[in-house]
Structure 1
């Protein structure tokens, strides 16, 4: 993250949100959370990233993304998300407001500045287990829901107070357990732990999940063939900060032991469709992040590069490689308008399992609908910050999958369009929630979003 105060994290005080009317002002915050805004940019962004991503993305989505080589909830949102400064609190740092001593008090669900509903107080001061429900609307697996329990080693406000004593800002350690179920019989359950050392110089992410996914494979015939994917997923990752920069680099290991079974017409082009396969991949992850807020940015960029190889010595039953790169940038056009741009490429080589092939991921497009050896996407989103709390947005994207079944020129190009809205539900964290509605060729879908749709 850029070296900055909490204006970047508290969207109500950033340049795109600040308005004379109904403005949530920095100097109006109470003394208890005032210093948290200055010092907890690490805890809030990293801790809440893990919380919200794991709870709002189903474990099945994480499994599917990991096996296809795309970064899922266990990757981008946790171990590789939103690097922030190790804020050394000293005389040269910005002059924060002294935190009040912890006291037992009733949690406020309304902002004292504008009177609107706001969950900042609860999220900043919550300790222990945090139950978080989720609603699933992904067309590939149908409607459903789930719940996760998040266990924090300390509250974000506590992390801020400790940082003032130690001089180093570190996010809290987090353990999560959860499960989900959808209308087509897809279900999953998982366990995750996130830990940091050395003042956030080292980040560890570990996850274990059981998944039973029912979805369709299109492949060469471009028609849906239903199949079931049942297995166990293990993810281990360690990232190291490069100096005092925004860059992180480190190894990632993914192991997926699965059984696949076509429940209707068999996709003959995939060879032996009903089989037990193991994917054991080792790779390198490189991250860069300069967003002003990881949840709902108004400016800055995010970049991730990943190279992974599946080999027998790593536990894989077949050998192949995946190469993934994605970049997002947000450009402030004015005080009220923000333009977001996305470029995403996913490539594979070797004997890649059919369910692990890259696919086009766009709002309004069923996941796995356009799938082949390679996939690429571009997307643009224009947002209008109507008030400090409310914003509306429109977006459009295009993607194509090619390589094994069709050449790039022969492959179908898919275009999606849509619109949505967001409500700033936690002003002190810059956390917004809302709904996106999208359309592509022959498909319509809606999504309940936490922050940006780009993770």
Structure 2
């Protein structure tokens, strides 16, 4: 869940919760009796009797409250979001394929809310909805929110060099997506997406800097695009094997009611494979390209742990990160990772600009065995300072 860079971090949060709720509902046992039995919710696993949230996630009675820690340095370093999610089961669809009767399971309808607050007084509230058009096998997602975000941007001047500028953004984002799954195993999907963003900007300093145009102080972004995806991961939370490939784009134009004429192209490849029995290796390659005349706050930035969001921006970025997870004792794991990236304005400058790097370590605990869900914390060192992150599932959740 990948889109308008800074603002998209919060849009993605809601869209990701749709995916989380969908998987939890899919894996939950279905009631085949006319009278529902009450299940005792236990926080101990039935196999090893360790602390485990699987039964809570399965037998939550259609309601799940997802707490999401926010440790992004660009948003103050600490904060959190509460995401209450309501699930409504859908009856299976019985159809005929090549003369054979097939019973196809339908994802539940999902409705939820989002409330977020961070240490630098950034906040956001919103609603989201996800569902399925069963016969054509099309899934849809929708989200709308309102928030006030305090973010820093950096600009380099010829004489004084780089300088930090702090802004407040009053934003109204609306995101819509529809994906059609196809293929025998539904690993392939393609569809369309739309993003509307009403943004009002004010300076947190004395004066508005010269690189901010008058149009950017109060403007509307309206853009439509496409999504192409292949996903063979064994689960969306903490995969042990599989690949996820995605390419998407956005087109913004005055025809759509936008104040900007621009293109945005995103592409990513994430893969996992067992190296040894208890050692999992991962690789992430990701890039972004912005064309035309987008507003300064939507330009791509280097996205690595240990590097604040928006710190290194350009019209294009390319980054790569490797990670290993060592399941060394029962439910406990250690992770080690490192990555590098570059932001540039022209392809000819890609290898001329300085590389941004980061590295770090962390731990994971298998907190929901039936879902393969691990949770933990990472510490990372970037070019300038250390940062920490609370990790739910994987740092590469997309």
Deviations 1:358-406 (A, max 9, x none): 0111111100001111111100001111134111110000011110799
Question: Which secondary structure does the structure 2 equivalent of 1:296 belong to?
Answer: coil
Residue 193 of structure 2: aligned partner: 252
Residue 99 of structure 2: aligned partner: none
Which residue of the other structure, out of 411, 414, 432, is the alignment partner of 2:353? 411
For residues 417 and 401 of structure 1, what CA distance do their matches in structure 2 show?
A: 18
Deviation, 1:444, is 1.1
Structure 1 position 362 matched with structure 2 position 304:
yes
For residues 262 and 273 of structure 1, what CA distance do their matches in structure 2 show?
A: 14
The structure-2 alpha-carbon separation of the partners of 1:292 and 1:63, relative to structure 1 and needing over 3 Å to count, comes to closer
The structure-2 alpha-carbon separation of the partners of 1:356 and 1:178, relative to structure 1 and needing over 3 Å to count, comes to same
Structure 1 position 107 matched with structure 2 position 47:
no
Residue 230 of structure 1: aligned partner: 170
Structure 1 position 153 matched with structure 2 position 93:
no
Which structure dedicates a bigger proportion of its chain to helix? Answer: 1
Question: Which secondary structure does the structure 2 equivalent of 1:360 belong to?
Answer: coil
Residue 60 of structure 2: aligned partner: 126
Question: Which secondary structure does the structure 2 equivalent of 1:195 belong to?
Answer: strand
For residues 200 and 82 of structure 1, what CA distance do their matches in structure 2 show?
A: 18
Two-structure CA RMSD over aligned residues (Å): 3.1
Structure 1 position 239 matched with structure 2 position 174:
no
Residue 177 of structure 1: aligned partner: 113
For residues 146 and 339 of structure 2, what CA distance do their matches in structure 1 show?
A: 32
For residues 200 and 80 of structure 1, what CA distance do their matches in structure 2 show?
A: 23
Conservation of the 8 A alpha-carbon contact between 1:376 and 1:401: yes
In structure 1, stretches of 5+ residues that fail to align are 1-52, 54-61, 88-96
For residues 8 and 190 of structure 2, what CA distance do their matches in structure 1 show?
A: 21
Conservation of the 8 A alpha-carbon contact between 2:283 and 2:321: yes
Which residue of the other structure, out of 362, 369, 372, is the alignment partner of 1:427? 369
1:19-418 matched pairs, under 5 angstroms: 65=5, 72-74=12-14, 78=18, 101=33, 102-142=36-76, 143-154=78-89, 167-198=103-134, 201-221=137-157, 222-244=162-184, 245-264=186-205, 266-272=208-214, 275-403=217-345, 407-418=349-360
Conservation of the 8 A alpha-carbon contact between 2:228 and 2:247: yes
For residues 195 and 414 of structure 1, what CA distance do their matches in structure 2 show?
A: 40
Conservation of the 8 A alpha-carbon contact between 1:220 and 1:269: no
Deviation, 1:250, is 0.6
Deviation, 1:81, is 12
Conservation of the 8 A alpha-carbon contact between 1:341 and 1:381: yes
Question: Which secondary structure does the structure 2 equivalent of 1:220 belong to?
Answer: strand
Deviation, 1:148, is 1.9
Conservation of the 8 A alpha-carbon contact between 1:69 and 1:324: no
Which structure dedicates a bigger proportion of its chain to strand? Answer: 2
TM-score of the superposition, structure 2-length normalised?
0.87
Conservation of the 8 A alpha-carbon contact between 1:131 and 1:149: yes
Question: Which secondary structure does the structure 2 equivalent of 1:366 belong to?
Answer: coil
Residue 97 of structure 2: aligned partner: none
* Bigger mean CA deviation after superposition, 324-333 or 215-224: 215-224
Conservation of the 8 A alpha-carbon contact between 2:130 and 2:139: yes
Deviation, 1:129, is 3.0
TM-score of the superposition, structure 1-length normalised?
0.76
Q: Which has the higher contact order (CA 8 A, sep 6+)?
A: 1
Deviation, 1:242, is 2.1
Conservation of the 8 A alpha-carbon contact between 2:6 and 2:309: no
Deviations 1:101-147 (A, max 9, x none): 54113211101210101111111122233222232211101122231
For residues 284 and 98 of structure 1, what CA distance do their matches in structure 2 show?
A: 34
Deviation, 1:306, is 0.4
Conservation of the 8 A alpha-carbon contact between 1:252 and 1:282: yes
In structure 2, stretches of 5+ residues that fail to align are 95-101
**Aligned residues, how many?**
379
The structure-2 alpha-carbon separation of the partners of 1:98 and 1:81, relative to structure 1 and needing over 3 Å to count, comes to closer
For residues 348 and 147 of structure 1, what CA distance do their matches in structure 2 show?
A: 32
Deviation, 1:414, is 1.0
Residue 12 of structure 1: aligned partner: none
The structure-2 alpha-carbon separation of the partners of 1:188 and 1:200, relative to structure 1 and needing over 3 Å to count, comes to farther
Conservation of the 8 A alpha-carbon contact between 1:147 and 1:178: yes
